[in-house]
């Protein structure tokens, strides 16, 4: 069972200030590129959630290579990048607060000690630290008094093998209800013929109750799409650069098709 963490309001505010990084775009700041699972940090008071450091190098803790890819895409576009810094083992920002996997108690059967039988007070504390700061940034960019963002793309990576099944998909574009961005994005990446691009693979947004683009895309009528990249295709800086070029060209062409 997890041990309660006691924090002052000042400590909560300090941890919350480290939850998100924003890279301002110069040429296309209206394109918001989001990375929800690029961080592997855990606030110090939680002592690594009771796990060995090695676990935070795995896909359970973060989307391997997604942070570097997001920064590289944003750099090529001159877009605005929003990077969540805390590990999804602390709180999975792309899951709704009511979703059991938002603060998962295990990693494929391996317990996460600090996440077992946690209280409502603890859940609220983590929401304040890990979710609320990212929410404020996105709300300001997309819904503020003078919103900058005109579309949002969320970048993730996935494991080439999952539950003993090899995934042949290289790039997946996930969407539901609003295909204004996703459909021309698929076409614009596929036509480059450098990687295979599939729709709603290896996961389907249409069949999922994910949080981020439901809240910051669909609910406010902002064109949106998730991009998933197989992580063995972004294993080093050269591979990240090649993938970023394909994605950046695709996003820019899709944005142009929307008149953005």
pLDDT in tens, 173-222: 999 999 999 999 999 999 999 999 999 999 999 999 999 999 999 999 99
The set of long-range contacts for 206-211, using a CB threshold of 8 Å and a minimum separation of 24, is: 206/174, 206/175, 206/176, 208/174, 209/96, 209/99, 210/94, 210/95, 211/93, 211/94, 211/95, 211/96, 211/99
Give the span between the Cα atoms of 196 and 203, in whole angstroms.
Answer: 15
- Provide the residue range defining the domain that includes 140: 9-257
Give the pTM: 0.96
Contact 171, 197 (CB under 8 A): yes
Query: Is residue 149 one of the residues assigned to a domain?
Result: yes
pLDDT band at residue 18 using 50, 70 and 90 as cut-offs? very high
Query: Is residue 21 one of the residues assigned to a domain?
Result: yes
Query: Is residue 67 one of the residues assigned to a domain?
Result: yes
The number of domains in the chain is 1
Whichever domain contains 224, its CATH number is: 3.40.630.40
Query: Is residue 2 one of the residues assigned to a domain?
Result: no
Query: Is residue 185 one of the residues assigned to a domain?
Result: yes
Per cent of the chain over pLDDT 70 is 98
What pLDDT is attached to residue 218? 98
Query: Is residue 194 one of the residues assigned to a domain?
Result: yes
Query: Is residue 248 one of the residues assigned to a domain?
Result: yes
Mean pLDDT of 91-118: 96
Is 70 exceeded by the pLDDT of residue 2?
no
DSSP string, 15-42: HHHTSEEEE--SSEEEEEEEESS---B-
Residues with Cβ < 8 Å from 192, sequence gap 6 or more? Answer: 246, 249, 250
Query: Is residue 1 one of the residues assigned to a domain?
Result: no
pLDDT digits (tens, 9 = 90+) for 34-64: 999 999 999 999 999 999 999 999 999 999 9
């Amino acid at each position: 069972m997890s041990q309660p963490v006691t924090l002052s309001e000042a400590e909560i505010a300090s941890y919350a200030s480290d939850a998100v990084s924003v890279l301002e775009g110069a040429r296309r700041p209206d394109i918001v590129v989001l990375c929800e699972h690029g961080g592997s940090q855990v606030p110090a008071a939680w002592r690594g959630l009771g796990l060995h450091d090695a676990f935070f190098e795995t896909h359970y803790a973060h989307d391997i290579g997604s942070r570097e890819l997001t920064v590289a895409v944003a750099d090529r576009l001159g877009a605005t990048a929003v990077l969540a810094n805390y590990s999804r083992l602390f709180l999975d920002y792309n899951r709704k607060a009511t979703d059991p996997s938002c603060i998962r108690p295990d990693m494929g059967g391996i317990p996460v000690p600090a996440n077992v039988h946690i209280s409502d007070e603890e859940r609220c504390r983590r929401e304040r630290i890990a979710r609320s700061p990212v929410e404020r940034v996105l709300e300001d960019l997309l819904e503020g008094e003078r919103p900058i963002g005109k579309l949002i793309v969320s970048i993730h990576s996935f494991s080439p093998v999952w539950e003993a099944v090899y995934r042949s998909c290289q790039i997946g574009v996930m969407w539901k209800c609003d295909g204004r961005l996703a459909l021309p994005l698929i076409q614009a990446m596929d036509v480059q013929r450098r990687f295979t691009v599939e729709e709603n693979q290896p996961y389907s947004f249409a069949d999922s109750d994910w949080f981020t683009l439901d809240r910051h895309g669909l609910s406010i009528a902002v064109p949106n799409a998730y991009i998933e990249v197989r992580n063995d295709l972004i294993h080093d800086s050269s591979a990240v650069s090649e993938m970023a070029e394909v994605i950046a060209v695709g996003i820019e062409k899709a944005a142009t098709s929307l008149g953005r």
